[in-house]
C-alpha cells in the first residue's frame, strides 16, 4: 500500500512495479504524515501574518505529506522496493526550495497544478506546468532549487526518489512537457510515463532503475 491517489499510482507504481498495477490500494490523506517545516530552512522569509491577504491556501509556505519515513518523520515505512521517497508537496505563492544538493538518487517530480521553476548546477533552467514531469539523476552530485514564482497561486507536485541500480552515475536532468489537453486524456487512466533506461518500454521518461 503506497498510493495516495491515481496520480501517484500512475507515476511510479507502473514504472517500478508493473506487476502491482492490478492490486493497488489507496491510502487516504489522513493516514499520511504531514510536515510543515520552518520557511527559513529553505531560504524563504517568514510566513505572512495574514495568509489570506496574499492568496495562500495554507498557513505555512509548505505542506508536505510523506508516504515513507523522511526528514523529521521516523515512524513510517522506510521504502517500497527501490521507491525510497514519495512526497506530496503544496507550495504557496512566491515560495520554494532554495539551492540544495543530492547524490546517488533518481528524482522524479510530477506537477499536479501550478508552475514549477527549476534551476540546477548544470545550468538548466525551465518552468513546467500541470501534468509535466521533471527527472534528475543526482549521481555523483547535483545542486538544484525549485520555486513557485506565481504571486497568487499555489503549486502542488509529487516528488519521488528511486534508488538507482548503481552509485556514481553522471548527473542528468530532463523533462516531459504536458500538452494542454493531457490531463483530460489521462483522467482516470493508467499512464506509463517512467521506465528503466535499459528496458524496451516506450515511455517519455527513462531512469536508471
pTM score: 0.88
Q: Quick one: cell of 185?
A: 486524456
3-class secondary-structure state, position 48: coil
Q: Which of 89, 53, 193 is nearest to 134 (CA)?
A: 193
3-class secondary-structure state, position 90: strand
CA angle 92, 172, 199 (to 5 degrees): 110
Model pLDDT, residue 16: 52
Q: Which of 59, 58, 57, 62 is nearest to 44 (CA)?
A: 62
Model pLDDT, residue 5: 42
Q: 117 near 127, Cβ under 8 Å?
A: yes
E strands, the chain, are: 33-35, 62-66, 83-91, 95-102, 106-113, 116-120, 125-128, 133-137, 142-148, 155-162, 172-176, 194-196, 205-207
pLDDT block averages, 10 residues each, the chain of length 209: 43 51 72 96 96 94 97 94 96 98 98 97 97 96 98 96 97 90 74 92 94
Model pLDDT, residue 19: 53
Q: What backbone phi and psi angles, to 5 degrees, belong to 105? A: -155, 145
Q: What backbone phi and psi angles, to 5 degrees, belong to 23? A: -135, 40
Model pLDDT, residue 30: 86
Neighbours of 161 (CB within 10 A): 22
Amino acid at each position: 500500500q503506497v498510493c495516495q491517489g491515481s496520480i501517484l499510482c500512475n507515476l511510479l507504481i507502473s514504472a517500478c512495479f508493473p506487476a502491482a498495477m492490478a492490486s493497488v490500494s489507496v491510502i487516504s490523506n489522513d493516514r499520511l504524515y504531514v510536515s510543515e517545516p520552518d520557511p527559513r530552512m529553505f531560504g524563504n522569509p517568514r510566513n505572512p501574518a495574514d495568509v489570506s491577504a496574499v492568496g495562500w491556501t495554507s498557513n505555512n509556505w509548505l505542506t508536505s505529506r510523506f508516504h515513507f519515513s523522511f526528514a523529521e518523520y521516523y515512524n513510517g515505512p522506510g521504502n517500497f522496493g527501490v521507491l525510497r521517497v514519495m512526497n506530496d508537496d503544496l507550495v504557496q505563492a512566491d515560495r520554494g526550495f532554495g539551492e540544495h544538493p543530492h547524490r546517488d538518487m533518481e528524482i522524479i517530480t510530477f506537477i499536479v497544478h501550478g508552475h514549477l521553476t527549476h534551476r540546477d548546477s548544470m545550468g538548466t533552467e525551465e518552468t513546467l506546468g500541470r501534468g509535466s514531469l521533471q527527472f534528475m539523476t543526482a549521481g555523483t552530485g547535483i545542486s538544484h532549487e525549485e520555486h513557485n514564482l506565481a504571486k497568487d497561486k499555489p503549486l502542488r507536485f509529487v516528488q519521488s526518489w528511486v534508488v538507482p541500480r548503481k552509485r556514481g552515475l553522471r548527473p542528468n536532468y530532463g523533462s516531459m512537457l504536458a500538452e494542454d489537453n493531457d490531463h483530460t486524456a489521462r483522467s482516470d487512466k493508467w499512464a506509463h510515463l517512467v521506465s528503466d533506461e535499459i528496458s524496451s518500454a516506450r515511455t517519455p521518461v527513462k531512469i536508471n532503475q
